[in-house]
Amino acid sequence: MTMASVKKLLNDTLDDLKEDSRKRFKSYLKEDGPIRAGKLEKADVTEIVDIMMERFGAEEAVKITLNILRKMNQNRLVEELQNNYTEVQKSSEAAEKHKRKQDDFWLQKFMKYHKMKMKEKVEHIFECKKENEAHLKDVFTELFITEGDLKEVNQEHEILQIDKDIKPRKSQDRPIKCNDVFRLNKKKKKIVLTKGIAGIGKTVSVHKFILDWAEEEANQDIDCVFLLPFRRINCIKDKKISLHEFLQKFNPELKTQNKPEKKRICKIYERNLAFIFDGLDESRLPLDFDSGMVTSVEERSSVDELFTSLVNGTLLPSAHVWVTSRPAAANQIPPEYVGLFTEVRGFTDQQKEEYFRKRIKDETQASRMISHIKKSRSLYIMCYIPVFCWITATVLQDIPIENNAETINTTLTEMYIHFLLIQMNMKSQKHDRKTERDCPKLLDSNKTLILKLAKLAFEQLKKENIVFYEEDLRACGIDVSEEDFESTGMLTEIFQQEAGLHEMKVFCFVHLSVQEFLAAVYVFLCYLNKNMDELQFFTEETQNEQQFFSEEIQNELQFSIEQTENEVRPDHINMPDKNIALHDDLLKKAVWKAIHSHKGHLDLFLRFLLGISLESNQKLLRGLFTHTEDSKDSVTETTKCIKKLLEYHNDISPETSVNLFYCLLELNDNSLYTEIQTYLRSYPERQLSSSMLSLMAYVLLMSEEVLDYLNLRRYNDQSESCRNLLPAVRCCRKAELFGCSLDHTCCEPVALALQIPNSPLIELDISNNELGNRGVKLLSDGLESPNCQLEILSSRTRHHYCTDKEPEPAMMHVPENLIGPAIGLDTEPQDTSDQVKVLATESELLLDYVVAVQKFHKPSSHPCPYLV
C-alpha cells in the first residue's frame, strides 16, 4: 500500500466536506493528536492530509479520519472511505505479493547463477599444470575426519600430527563426512573449526562440500555458500569495507549498479548462508576478538572486524561459519566460539588404495604401484597424507617400478628430490622435446631456474609468506612471462585478475611442503658456495630465543658440543658462533631457529635441510650442487646436539621433542628407538603427550626390529593417550594391554596385528577391558586369519558382563581351526592349554576367566621369554 494512494483517498474525502464541516474536522483533529492549533488554523485540505500522514502514518491517519467523520455524522463519507480504503488495501496486497514473487524469482535465478559460479571455482583439482587438471569427483577419495579434542589445539605443532592413520580410533572418533559438518554442529551461533596438517585434505574437503551443494546433492537447506580463502583475504586486509562489499570482491555476481537489483541482492542476507574461511594459518589479520563489533552488512569496518564479528555471532548470527586451519594456528579462535571441532586425519589404509586406483587409471599399473608401496613400510605409512600420495604417485609413475624398488627409500627428503627431478624432466620434455635420464645433466640444465625458485622459497619462508606477488618473483630474477615459469610445475598463479579483487597477480608454490623443500635446497647451496650473507637469518638472535631456556640450563647447554672421554659435555648456552664455518654449525643453527618457531613454520624445512645434508641425498642433487661434502662428522655432531637438547625435557615441550625425534629419523639415525626408550626411562614421571606416544608407535612401525615386550599398563592413567601406542602391537612378540580402559574401538589395531603377514605377536593379554561383542568379533576375525601366530591369549573382563547392546551372533568363539575339538560352555576356570573358550550369549558377553590359548597345530619355535 503506497502513501500516495492513501493521501489521494483522504484528499478526496475531505474535499467533499463543506467549509464549516472542515473547520469542525480541524477542531476534532486538534483533540485527537498533539498538533499545534496554529498549524491547522489556515491549512487547506492538502496540508491537513500531509500533517496527518507525517504525524500518524497512513493506517493511523485513515483510522483517525473515520473516527472524526463518525463524530460529525458524515456516514456517507465514512462508508465511501472505508470501502475505498479496503480496495486500496487489497490492491496493495496484491501488488506486494506480486513484487515478492518477482523478488523471489529474481533471487532464485541469482542463487542458481551463484551455484554455477561456485561450481566453476571448485570442480577441478589442480596437479602442477593446467593441462593436468582433473575433475574433483573423478579423483576425490573420502578422508578420515573425526571430532577433535579442542583441549589439544593449544599444545600441538603441525609436525606432531604424525601418522593419524596409525592412531586407533577413540570411542568419540566417529567418522564425519565433510558434507555433515553444519548438520552436526548443534550449538547455535557457534562455528565449525577444522584442523589438519598441510596436505592432509582440508581445502579439498571444503571444495567437495561446495561442489556437492552446487550440484544439489547435499545441504540444500543452505541458500548461498561463500568460499573465502585467507590467502586472498590478505590482499584486501587493510581496506575499510562492508560485508557486502567484501563478498563482492570474491563473488562478482553480487555487484550491480541498478538500485532495485541492489535491494533484491541484499535480501540474500535474510537467507540461510554459509561462510567458509579456508586456511586460518595463512591469515595476516590481527584477529582481535575484543575490538569493535559489526552488526550490519552495510556497516564499513576493517576486514579483521568483519571476520571476528561473523565468528562471534554479532554479524548475521544465524549464518553458518566454517574455518579451516593448520594445527598451530587453530588456537587463534577462542574456544567459546566453537560449536564443532573436527580434525582431518588423512587416509586410512583402505582409502590409500582407493586414492591410487582413482589416480592411476590403468588398473594393472595401479595394482603394481600399491603392491610396491606396501612393501616399503615407511612409505606406506607416510601415504596417510594425501599430498604425499600425490607425490608418491607422480614419482612412481615416472620411474619403472621394477627398477626402483631399491632406489627409492623412505625419507621425506629423498621422495621430494625425486619429485623435483620428475618436474624438471617434464619441463624438458615440453620445451626441449627430449627425455633426460641423466639426473646430473637434467639438474645442471635447469640449475638457474631452480635456484631462482629456491631463493624465492627461502626469502618468503623467512617472512612466513606462502603467497607472493610479481615484484617478489622479479626480486629473485623470475620473469612470469617466460614459458619456463609455469612449465616447472612448482610455482603457480593462484588467482587471475578478476572483477576488481586485486590489480596484481598472486602466486604460490603448488604445495607448502614444496616451498619448504626448495628453501632447504637454497640454504644448503648457499652453504656449499660460502654465501654467508644469505645465511645471516640463522645468526640473528631474537629476544624469544634468548629467553627460551631457563638460566640454569643456559649455563650448561651449548650447541658446539665437544666430545671428551666418550662423553658429550656442555660448556655454555651461547647460541652457535655467529660465523658459519662448518657444516654442523649450519645444521645446529637451523635446529636452534626451528625450536623457537612459534607456529612451527620451520619444522618441515628443518627436516628437509637435515635430510639434504646426508651425502647420499647430496649425490642425488649432483648437477645442482657443484660438489658434495662429506657429512658423516657433521651429521654425527648434529645428532649429538639434538640428543643433548632432548635431555633438557623441562625446557623443551613434548611437541618440540617429537619434532627433534623426527629430525633424527631424517638423519637415518639408527639409534632412534633406543633414544626414545632412554627418554621415557629417564623421565618416567612425565606425562606423555598423545603426540609422543604416536611417535613411539610410528618409530616402532618404521623400524624392522621386533619388540620382545610392549606394556601399555604403564600409561594406564592416560587411557585416551595410550591408545595412540596401540598400533605398535603389530611389531612386538608380547603385548600387555591389561586394564588399559580399552573398548571395542581399540580392537581394530589389535586385530590388524594378528592379520598382517609374518605377524610376530605370539602372546596377548587383553584382560580387564570392556571390549563388548563388537570388540570380540573383531578379535575373532583376527584370530581366524591364516597369518595369526598367537599362542597365548589372556582375556578376563573387568565386570562379569559387558553391556554392548548391539545385536551380535548368539555365540562368538575363536575359529575351530585354532582350537581343535569343540568344547562346552563351562564358565568355571580350568586347564585349557590346547583350546580356546570365548562365550557370548545374545548381547551379553561372559569372559570370567583367563583363557590360555595354545595353538595345538603350531607349536612355538620361539617361546616368549615373558610367559608366566
Angle at 652 between CA 646 and CA 656, to 5 degrees: 80
The verdict on 259 and 367 lying in the same domain is no
In a domain, residue 11? The reply is yes
Count up the domains in the chain and report the number: 4
For 262, the domain range is 114-124+133-346
The verdict on 19 and 165 lying in the same domain is no
pLDDT of residue 670: 64
End-to-end Cα separation, the chain, in angstroms: 92
Q: Which of 221-235, 552-566, 792-806 has the lowest mean pLDDT?
A: 552-566
Distances in Å between the Cα of 62 and the Cα atoms of 34, 41, 92, 244, 430 are 17, 21, 15, 39, 81
Q: Is the pLDDT of residue 495 over 80?
A: no
pLDDT of residue 98: 66
pLDDT of residue 630: 82
The verdict on 716 and 761 lying in the same domain is yes
pLDDT of residue 714: 72
Q: Is the pLDDT of residue 103 over 80?
A: no
Separation CA 263–CA 690 (nearest Å)? 53
In a domain, residue 232? The reply is yes
In a domain, residue 473? The reply is no
The verdict on 249 and 388 lying in the same domain is no
Q: In the predicted model, what is the mean pLDDT of residues 636-664? A: 74
| Runs of H (alpha helix) within 529-596 | 543-546, 551-554, 583-595
Q: Of 459, 457, 465, nearest to 518 (Cα)?
A: 457
Return the C-alpha torsion angle 103, 104, 110, 111, nearest 10: 150
Q: In the predicted model, what is the mean pLDDT of residues 263-285? A: 90
Q: Is the pLDDT of residue 224 over 70?
A: yes
What contacts 306, CB < 8 A, 6 or more positions away?
Answer: 241, 243, 246, 294, 315
Separation CA 100–CA 608 (nearest Å)? 61
In a domain, residue 614? The reply is no
CB of 772 within 8 A of CB of 804? yes
Q: How confident is the model at residue 837 (pLDDT cuts 50, 70, 90)?
A: very low
Q: How confident is the model at residue 587 (pLDDT cuts 50, 70, 90)?
A: confident
Q: Is the pLDDT of residue 238 over 70?
A: yes
Q: How confident is the model at residue 812 (pLDDT cuts 50, 70, 90)?
A: very low
Is the pLDDT higher at 643 or at 717?
A: 643
Q: In the predicted model, what is the mean pLDDT of residues 632-658? A: 75
pLDDT of residue 675: 65
Q: Which of 208-217, 247-256, 563-572, 787-796 has the lowest mean pLDDT?
A: 563-572
Q: How confident is the model at residue 205 (pLDDT cuts 50, 70, 90)?
A: very high
The verdict on 120 and 73 lying in the same domain is no
Q: Is the pLDDT of residue 767 over 80?
A: yes
The verdict on 146 and 276 lying in the same domain is yes
Separation CA 478–CA 484 (nearest Å)? 10
Distances in Å between the Cα of 602 and the Cα atoms of 20, 419, 429, 455 are 92, 21, 34, 16
In a domain, residue 469? The reply is no
Q: With 0-12 CB in 10 A as exposed, 13-18 as middle and 19+ as buried, what is 141?
A: buried
CB of 697 within 8 A of CB of 661? no
Other Cβ atoms closer than 10 A to 99: 10
CA-based torsion, 701, 702, 707, 713: positive or negative: negative
Other Cβ atoms closer than 10 A to 138: 11
Separation CA 490–CA 406 (nearest Å)? 27
pLDDT of residue 571: 35
Tell me which DSSP letter residue 269 carries: G
The verdict on 336 and 384 lying in the same domain is no
- The per-residue pLDDT of the chain, averaged, comes to 76
Q: Looking at 307, 324, 346, which one is the last position of a domain? A: 346
Q: In the predicted model, what is the mean pLDDT of residues 86-101? A: 75
Q: How confident is the model at residue 60 (pLDDT cuts 50, 70, 90)?
A: confident
pLDDT of residue 419: 85
Is the pLDDT higher at 496 or at 398?
A: 398
The verdict on 371 and 327 lying in the same domain is no
Return the C-alpha torsion angle 29, 35, 40, 44, nearest 10: -70
pLDDT of residue 188: 78
Q: Of 194, 231, 250, 285, nearest to 466 (Cα)?
A: 231
Q: What percent of the chain has pLDDT over 90?
A: 23
Separation CA 612–CA 822 (nearest Å)? 60
Q: Which residue type is seen at 565?
A: E
The verdict on 315 and 358 lying in the same domain is no
Q: Which of 413-422, 776-785, 857-866 has the lowest mean pLDDT?
A: 857-866
Q: How confident is the model at residue 865 (pLDDT cuts 50, 70, 90)?
A: very low
Distances in Å between the Cα of 521 and the Cα atoms of 242, 514, 633, 686 are 44, 11, 20, 37
Is the pLDDT higher at 222 or at 776?
A: 222
Q: Looking at 304, 322, 346, which one is the last position of a domain? A: 346
pLDDT of residue 559: 42
Q: Looking at 346, 368, 394, which one is the last position of a domain? A: 346
CB of 855 within 8 A of CB of 790? yes
The verdict on 302 and 374 lying in the same domain is no
In a domain, residue 670? The reply is no
In a domain, residue 648? The reply is no
Q: What percent of the chain has pLDDT over 70?
A: 70
Is the pLDDT higher at 282 or at 461?
A: 461
Is the pLDDT higher at 48 or at 797?
A: 48
In a domain, residue 801? The reply is yes
The secondary structure of 716-770 as a DSSP string is GGGHHHHGGGGGGGGGEEEEE-TTS---GGGHHHHHHHHHSTT----EEE--S--
CATH number at residue 82: 1.10.533.10
Cell reading at 446: 635447469
pLDDT of residue 632: 84
CATH number at residue 138: 3.40.50.300
pTM for the full predicted model = 0.63
Q: How confident is the model at residue 126 (pLDDT cuts 50, 70, 90)?
A: low
The verdict on 220 and 267 lying in the same domain is yes
CB of 561 within 8 A of CB of 585? no
Q: In the predicted model, what is the mean pLDDT of residues 9-30? A: 87
The verdict on 307 and 367 lying in the same domain is no
